[in-house]
Amino acid sequence: MSAPLRIGIDIGGTFTDFVIFSPENGNLRTFKLLSTPSDPAEAVLLGLKKIFAQHGTKHATVIHGSTVATNALLERKGARTAFIATRGFKDILQIGRQNRPALYDLFADPPAPLVPPELRFEADERVDKDGNVLHALSDPQVDELVGQLQGANAESVAVCLLFSFLKPEHEQLIAEKLRAAGFPVSLSSEIIPEYREYERASTTAVNAYVSPVLEQYLSHLERDLDPQTRLRVMQSNGGNISPREARANGVRCILSGPAGGVVGSEYIGRLASPLQGIIGFDMGGTSTDVSLIEGAPQVTTESIIGGCPIRIPVLDIHTIGAGGGSIAQVDPGGALRVGPESAGADPGPACYGKGRLPTVTDANVVLGRIPPEYFLGGQMPLDQERAFEALTRLGEKLSLTAPQAALGVVQVANAHMERALRVISVERGHDPRDFTLLSFGGAGGLHAADLARGLAIPRVLVPPLASTLSAFGMLAADVVKDYTRTVMLPGDTSHSALEKLFAPMTERGRCEVETEDVAVDHIRVERFIDMRYRGQSYELTIPFSERFATAFHDFHKTTYGYAREDAPLEIVNIRLRATGATEPPPLMAQPLGNEKATGALLETRPVLFDGGNRPTPFYRAEALRPGNLIGGPAVVVRADTTVLIGVTDMAHVDGFGNLLIEVGK
């Protein structure tokens, strides 16, 4: 039998992206379909049907990044979830931390907890901080809990008992009885066996809340897929897992789509050597995701999504509600506001022919930066007149012409996105001037050069796969599994003693990755420890080595500007990442040729910039060749995205077909 097709699928708020790699001939192609928000699987199945018809086979591996879990959490449309805690702790999700995001707002309302009071229950048990049972949990007690949950019509249950990360037997007893009664159960000792009660409870509750929704979605997909088609699911940590594991661990798939973009950015950045640091800028139709890659993608265990802390390792991605479909409006104070509300896929921007509200995409059409007849390769011509009418109505409220209003919309959207880029760079001690801005997403190329200019980033890289890079990244993703355990040991614990603690985690990691059809010699294990100075509230994660204490002092100094080498240390958690390497689709470099890009020139037409209208050449991206140079101003049109080159910028095409823009002042 021939090698299976490999298909990456990323569902966005506006479009669903498909990338198809055929190992037989090395062909790589992409396309986009409008998303179907009412039933996301509809667009996925429609796209797969199209692929299988063209290739004459259903023998394929599909790696899928889904927004299903994310949307369930953000829109509060998850399962009716109950929460079981140790007696006296059932309101922990309500109490939370005493953090105040709006410090000076006396009337700020905290986000509503996922579990309402009537669905919070208590188990009469107690374990101390050393894992000793102070009060045992009895069978009759658990039987009583089962009856209470059935009476409350709970659809899913989260269990988080005190110190269960040290002694999980009480949680396991509850799970055994509840699962026998038909309840989906999430145990904190399985999801996140770490200390910090609130974060552990929140992560477990999120898992219980979104997993049934993801399970329903994946079952729908698998039911309609041919047995020859193998499904994999993207995780938030940049790896992929089986649907079986994703069903039980929905919290690990919260950022699965954006994670694909980070993996794709790392792969492209590595090929486009000697680029050192990458800032990923993913602007889609509904949102913008930004991330920083310095050697490797940044990983965090301190995410907050929809007001809920999530403690598991995820790629460090900052998301804002700014995209091509972000709606522009005038607020009650008379100021122009863009987003976070989006026109989405239906009705979409006004220029799509259904909606009437002005969006960022409409503004770019009015400014002449998106040629309507070339949109999506000419398959979906845009209604320029409708976009102009939408911006005219907006401009009347601001006493501006439609083009002036359009410039304002783009500038406000850029201000939002520039602020997001500062969060993951400047605010974390990184100098943007040391990085390259890698722009992707369907709308990113129109804004990337201006954003780089505002942050003094010297260059922008736009790959040929920019519009579908998140889906491509899923094909480049490895199998990744993360494990953690709280140990609370003194910093002078010997290296050999820690090796013994890591041993069972290492064995488990290797075995579980191997069960995902990964060859033993392709499995890599990385070990980390969370350390802090005794008395500190938070810790830093460092690679585990014989010199771990010295490494901690060095990292602390890099992060905070000082180190206390005479202070006692504390080892809080040990972490392990098991990775099963996969083979990403190869991208082959071509030799550089002629500098002249005249063969790709489509036409010259006026485009409105801050300084006024300028005659601007438009180039067909697919006709550009390695070595071509393009001076600004210019617009490069690809079938699925558009790239704006500023007046003072200079772009060239490298051997991989990447457009590298040297940003002028």
CATH number for position 172: 3.40.50
Q: Which of 150, 181, 213 is the last residue of a domain?
A: 213
> Cβ(421)–Cβ(263) under 8 Å?
no
Same domain, 83 and 171: yes
Q: Which residues of the chain have pLDDT under 70?
A: 1, 273-275, 345
Same domain, 21 and 111: no
Same domain, 191 and 107: yes
Residue 194 is part of which domain span? Answer: 76-213
Burial letters for 19-30: b for 16+ Cβ neighbours within 10 Å, e otherwise? Answer: bbbbeeeeebeb
> Cβ(234)–Cβ(240) under 8 Å?
yes
Helices (H), 373-468: 384-398, 402-424, 448-455
What are the structure tokens assigned to 216, written together?
């329903």
Q: How many domains does the chain have?
A: 3
Q: What pLDDT shows up at residue 3? A: 83
Asked if residue 334 belongs to a domain, the reply is: no
Same domain, 85 and 179: yes
What are the structure tokens assigned to 104, written together?
């000076």
Same domain, 80 and 209: yes
Of 394, 252, 437, 369, residue with least CA distance to 632: 369
The size of the chain, in residues, is: 665
Asked if residue 169 belongs to a domain, the reply is: yes
> Cβ(481)–Cβ(239) under 8 Å?
yes
Q: What is the CA radius of gyration of the chain?
A: 26
Of 278, 318, 322, residue with least CA distance to 302: 318
The fraction of the chain above a pLDDT of 70, given in percent, is: 99
Q: Which of 580, 606, 622 is the last residue of a domain?
A: 580
**Residue 540: φ, ψ to 5°:** -115, 145
Peptide bond into 340 cis (omega under 30): yes
Same domain, 197 and 245: no
Residues 6 or more apart from 266 whose CB is under 8 A from it?
278, 293, 296, 297
Tell me the pairing of strands 435-440 and 336-342.
unpaired
Same domain, 80 and 69: no
Q: Amino acid letter at 7?
A: I
Q: What is the DSSP string of 291-316?
A: EEEESEE-EES-EEETTEEE-S-EE-
pTM: 0.89
Task: Identify the CATH number of the domain in which residue 519 sits.
Answer: 3.30.1490
Count the alpha carbons within 13 Å of 218 in the hemisphere toward its beta carbon. Answer: 29
Q: What pLDDT shows up at residue 15? A: 83
pLDDT tens digits for range 262-275: 999 999 988 886 66
Q: What pLDDT shows up at residue 112? A: 83
Q: What pLDDT shows up at residue 235? A: 92
Asked if residue 437 belongs to a domain, the reply is: no
Q: What pLDDT shows up at residue 472? A: 94
Give the C-alpha separation, 665 to 648, whole Å: 7
Q: What pLDDT shows up at residue 274? A: 63
Same domain, 98 and 209: yes
Same domain, 224 and 199: no
Same domain, 163 and 138: yes
DSSP letter (8 states) at residue 407: H
Q: Which of 559, 580, 601 is the last residue of a domain?
A: 580
Neighbours of 101 (CB within 10 A): 10
Q: What pLDDT shows up at residue 390? A: 94
Q: What pLDDT shows up at residue 1? A: 57
Asked if residue 660 belongs to a domain, the reply is: no
Asked if residue 268 belongs to a domain, the reply is: no
Give the C-alpha separation, 549 to 315, whole Å: 25
Asked if residue 320 belongs to a domain, the reply is: no
Asked if residue 134 belongs to a domain, the reply is: yes
Asked if residue 293 belongs to a domain, the reply is: no
Same domain, 104 and 202: yes
Same domain, 57 and 118: no
